[in-house]
Structure 1
Amino acid sequence: MTRRRRDTPGPAAGGTTSARARTWKRSAQGARGCCSRGAILCATPGAREASVRQAPGADAMNVLLLSMPDSFEHMPPMAIRMPNGALASLAGNVDSHHRVAIADLILVQSSLRSTIERLVREIEPDIVGLSVMTFQRATALAIAKLLRALRPSVRIAVGGYDPSLAPAAYEGCRAIDFIVRGEGEQTLSDLLRALETAGATAHAPRQLAAIAGLSYRLSGGFVRNADRPIMPLASSALRLPNRRARVLGGYTLLGRTVDVVETSRGCTFDCSFCSIIEMRGRNFHPYPIDRVLADIADARANGAEAIFLVDDNITLDIVRFEALCQAIVDAGFDDMDYIVQAMTAPIARHGARLAPLMKRAGFRYVFLGIENVLDEDLRFLRARAKNAQREHGRTIGNASIEAIRHLHEHGMYVVGGLIVGNPDDTRSSIDANLEFARRYVDWPYIQHPTPYPGTPMTRDFRDRGLIVDDDVSHYDGTTAVVRSEHLTAEDIEFLRWRAERWMKLRHLPAALGHNPLFILRNAFAMMAHTFAGTSLRSMIGLEDDRAVFARYRERRRQERESYTSDAEPERAHLRLSQGRVRA
């Protein structure tokens, strides 16, 4: 089937401000006078407006939702820039009279401060929400302070994995008013209702106290409400994400416009490294397939050519996954590229039937959670069961090779997720995993064990005294922050870095087939990212790899610090306005 082509919005180097953001201020001012009639900006179309409750006499609020600019190291930013699907879901589930704007700051890494200033000036937000992962914490705190300096009256909320699992890290920041813990759609909706009911000058403690999943600031400190129960998606009233609320452009996967779709939430396994279990427990909640198809249709209508299914573990229910693949084919949505995360064991066990169906549905890249190829490490990671190949009720080996074989036989690429640097790892055990990646996977996604808040892995490493770096800005998965009993953290990271960059080079021919023009335009920049720190002398063997590695680490340090420094509020006496000092 012929694949559709659309131009990717925005330049390759970053995001563009859409007309929706540029005209926001004029439109919002016009809408303020008719908010009692439910005036809508950036809302999803159709019947959703009529189905959303609006408090009598409520004022519409300007809501700005931001994801952080810090990105993972594994792929060059020009090659992959994904939208934050959680923010679009939040935007789609607030009362429809509110005006919501979403800005994924990964799209504007080189113009972070100016973009935030422009968004605040044009949107005039009443409340700003920040979605934060652990390694983005310092950036989020700096952005919160910048927002407070730019607009002192704004209310600021944080949510996502890190605020949910380490709320105390945010309670000390005076710029932050609210912490949304766990699933946020209903919590944010309830928060906006409480704030609009209370008016512009009060926090409405009585209304806030009734909101499950919320922590809020009072004069004596933060009050933590009860946790919000996990939402049963099959029977929930969650509406589709509001993708039209996005005000920046430039989402891409190797030159194709990409979006994210969620078909389920949760996982029933208990891997020691996983934050999902710590945040929501061991459970699995799927959406109805009709709802998933409607979400895909909406992503297509908003320009998507590729879809990343961001489920925590879609292969927990293989029968449902097969039904979803068939439904995609039946709906005619198989003219897109799909990317999915999967366990090895179900793919190995059902691959003869599942893999050809996935191929027909348009699946192109499969991220396999291989985790490790050694039993001792899988035991530490609590990942043996999900990677076990079984016959007649008995475990007969690791399922990874069989899963990869099924996928490769049907023309799909394998992104291999591996974790090296576990407590008892030696150089030979790390080399065994790196050699496996060289031989079998198409794109390596090799990480180091990272002590994220609350995980069993964190307790294990701390009890054994193996954590050597407590700066969570380094907790990005590719910076080694723990040592093993036999290797330093720097040695672990060096072994991974030295091998992985050459593995990534092998994927260029496949990427060229995916989108030749994009690769030809961006090959040099992609190679510069992958081989950062490399010199001509090192390429011809006149410089040691350790020197190159040191330059690479320095570049990563400067990159991390740039996001925080760019978001730091300027001192008032240094701000100039028309040649005068502005207080």
Structure 2
Amino acid sequence: MSDVLLQSACILLEFKITMEIAFVRPVAPFNRYIQNVPLNYIHLAAHLRQRGHKATILDMVVEESTDDVDQYLRSNNVGLVGIGCMTCELPDALAEARRLKENHPGIRIVFGGAHPSADPEECLRSGVVDYVVVGEGELPLAALLDALENGRHPQGILGLWSIENGAVRGNSSAAIPNVEELPMPAYDQLDLNKYFQLDSPWHFPKSKKAVQYVSSRGCPYHCSYCHTIHGKKYRGMSAAKVVDEIERLVIAHGVEELMIVDDIFNFDLERAKDICRGIVDRGLRVHLQFPNGVRGDRFDEELVALMKRAGTHYMAVAIETTSEKYQNLIRKHLKLEKALQTIQWARKYDIEVCGFFMIGFPGETLQEIEQTLDFAVSAPLDTIFISLVSPFKGTVLRTDMMNGRFGDIDASGVAALEQLFPTVHNEAVPIETLQKLQRSAYWRFYLKPRPMLNLGRRMTNWSNVKKVSRAIRRRLAESRISSLN
């Protein structure tokens, strides 16, 4: 009898080992911003580790080949693979999932991220995806692994979609974790030295030893062009927790620069100030940049001064449009005068500022577009980035278009939305005209003395020369790759 029990225990243990999850990141040529730490995977891996599960990260961007991935999966009897993707990464994610299914019969694939959250059914009907996590992944992934390890059907897990016998089983969005209780992301599971060697796509880091970092999730604003994966409730970690994690990155991992990529770092001004004070008070020597865009009209001069003292050398301000009509239509409601004041404070404290702009909203006239571009060219900015509007799946903008908020949409408009890089069909200002206006604005801006001198000062090493050359090519020749989601 004891032999039978022992044998059963061994079988159960073997089954649990096969339920280790491996996060695989394929190379995605359309996404330059993949040349960085896989931030989503290290957040998920840390939480799963805290819950007693084993999670491995296999990153094909820095080292693993398909052969390396296959060997690891076979050697460790891995039964579940997670792949996250944005829309521009979807073809590569599906191709890797298909390859894994062919090479590892019986393996299960779970997708997550911006695109799968926006259209889980599309992913599930591909024939190579078993589950999709809609929303934040920590809680549903842990519940999925719990169920699989114990031989239970994972039905009813909030945020987990699945497909069985051709029928898609939907669910609500994932439960939202308390960010204060989440463990520090698993940077320790990565060889950061390999990421330090990557040609970072972000704005000219002061140090090669740079990684991304998130201190909050969610944004209470309702800009219709943005993703909603983190919901519309702001959840910021306490300043003490943030500074503790930054200190650990600096001291234990040798990080010298952080790209803080919160959706809205400065929503809670006092928290933002306390984070900056904490960095200064602890004597942490670290450079900071905010390349994901901060809310331009939620600043005061004290915050800008503290950001500079804490090591900030660059931030992006998302303005998008100077048209009050379109500020309302896209639900951004930015106070342009306050954003301009923030830009002027940043210049006072020697923080470089990039302005984000978007052109080609549904029904936008040539005059309204030129108004935005004239502001972009004339504002006291150091760099600008002009995107062509892309109504990605899952955005309120896309829903608004289909529901007539911007007027009727015809067959040509629907067809434009169904591309990998969706566009807005506007006969009055076609895509070709938008691209010409975009290129012209770049020339007008970067031929001004200040931006030209700024770029000239950057040409101090081959890495920066390549970065500038790549930026010129993307802005002047590849405008269809204009925004990512």
TM-score range, shorter chain: 0.7 to 0.9
Structure 2 residue aligned with 1:242: 186
Structure 2 residue aligned with 1:196: 149
Deviates more, 1:523-532 or 1:138-147: 523-532
Larger RCO: 1 or 2 (CA < 8 Å, sep 6+): 1
Change (3 A) 1:553 1:233: closer
Structure 1 residue aligned with 2:463: 522
Distance 2:93 2:452 in 1: 34
Structure 2 residue aligned with 1:275: 227
Structure 2 residue aligned with 1:374: 323
Structure 1 residue aligned with 2:42: 88
Structure 1 residue aligned with 2:371: 432
Residue identity matched to 1:381? I
| Overall identity of the aligned pairs, in % | 23
Distance 1:482 1:68 in 2: 29
Structure 2 residue aligned with 1:343: 295
Once the two structures are superposed, residues 62-83 of structure 1 have per-residue CA deviations (whole angstroms, 9 ceiling, x without a partner) of 432134533667xx77xx9332
Structure 1 residue aligned with 2:4: none
Contact 1:157 1:180 in 2 (8 A): yes
Change (3 A) 1:470 1:426: closer
Structure 1 residue aligned with 2:168: 222
Structure 2 residue aligned with 1:499: 441
Residue identity matched to 1:401? L
Contact 1:260 1:307 in 2 (8 A): yes
Structure 2 residue aligned with 1:416: 355
Query: How far off its partner does 1:361 sit?
Result: 0.6
Structure 2 residue aligned with 1:295: 245
3-state DSSP of counterpart to 1:346: coil
Change (3 A) 1:170 1:504: farther
Deviates more, 1:225-234 or 1:401-410: 225-234
Structure 2 residue aligned with 1:150: 103
Query: How far off its partner does 1:138 sit?
Result: 2.0
Distance 2:398 2:183 in 1: 36
3-state DSSP of counterpart to 1:354: helix
Q: Does residue 1:324 correspond to 2:264, yes or no?
A: no
Structure 1 residue aligned with 2:66: 116
Change (3 A) 1:62 1:302: farther
Structure 1 residue aligned with 2:218: 266
Change (3 A) 1:415 1:211: same
3-state DSSP of counterpart to 1:216: strand
Distance 1:468 1:501 in 2: 32
Residue identity matched to 1:307? L
Contact 1:423 1:485 in 2 (8 A): no
Deviates more, 1:400-409 or 1:215-224: 215-224
Structure 2 residue aligned with 1:358: 307
Distance 2:326 2:357 in 1: 11
Contact 2:221 2:232 in 1 (8 A): yes
Q: Does residue 1:474 correspond to 2:425, yes or no?
A: no
Contact 1:132 1:140 in 2 (8 A): yes
Structure 2 residue aligned with 1:49: none
Query: How far off its partner does 1:418 sit?
Result: 1.1
Query: How far off its partner does 1:105 sit?
Result: 4.7
Contact 1:62 1:123 in 2 (8 A): no
Residue identity matched to 1:170? C
3-state DSSP of counterpart to 2:23: strand
Distance 1:292 1:531 in 2: 36
Of 151, 164, 167, the match for 2:120: 167
Count of aligned residue pairs for this structure pair: 448
TM-score (norm 2): 0.82
Contact 1:65 1:129 in 2 (8 A): yes
Query: How far off its partner does 1:176 sit?
Result: 0.8
- Superposed, which structure 2 residues align to 1:104-143 within 5 Å? 104-107=59-62, 115-124=65-74, 125-143=78-96
Query: How far off its partner does 1:504 sit?
Result: 5.7
Change (3 A) 1:487 1:533: same
Residue identity matched to 1:160? G
Structure 2 residue aligned with 1:451: 391
Query: How far off its partner does 1:270 sit?
Result: 1.3
Distance 1:238 1:450 in 2: 33
Contact 1:209 1:225 in 2 (8 A): no
3-state DSSP of counterpart to 2:369: helix
Once the two structures are superposed, residues 440-484 of structure 1 have per-residue CA deviations (whole angstroms, 9 ceiling, x without a partner) of 222212212221223331133334324552444224xxxxx1133
Contact 2:416 2:425 in 1 (8 A): no
Distance 1:58 1:224 in 2: 26
Contact 1:308 1:339 in 2 (8 A): yes
3-state DSSP of counterpart to 1:316: coil
Query: How far off its partner does 1:298 sit?
Result: 3.4
Distance 2:474 2:304 in 1: 40
Once the two structures are superposed, residues 370-422 of structure 1 have per-residue CA deviations (whole angstroms, 9 ceiling, x without a partner) of 121221221222112xx22xxxxxxxx63222110011100101121111111
Distance 2:117 2:53 in 1: 25
Gaps of 5+ in 2: 1-8
Change (3 A) 1:485 1:320: farther
Residue identity matched to 1:239? P
Contact 2:139 2:177 in 1 (8 A): no
Query: How far off its partner does 1:172 sit?
Result: 0.7
Change (3 A) 1:68 1:375: farther
Q: Does residue 1:101 correspond to 2:41, yes or no?
A: no
Contact 1:306 1:336 in 2 (8 A): yes
Contact 1:134 1:472 in 2 (8 A): no
Residue identity matched to 2:398? T
- Superposed, which structure 2 residues align to 1:530-541 within 5 Å? 530-532=471-473
Contact 1:259 1:299 in 2 (8 A): no
TM-score (norm 1): 0.69
Change (3 A) 1:212 1:71: same
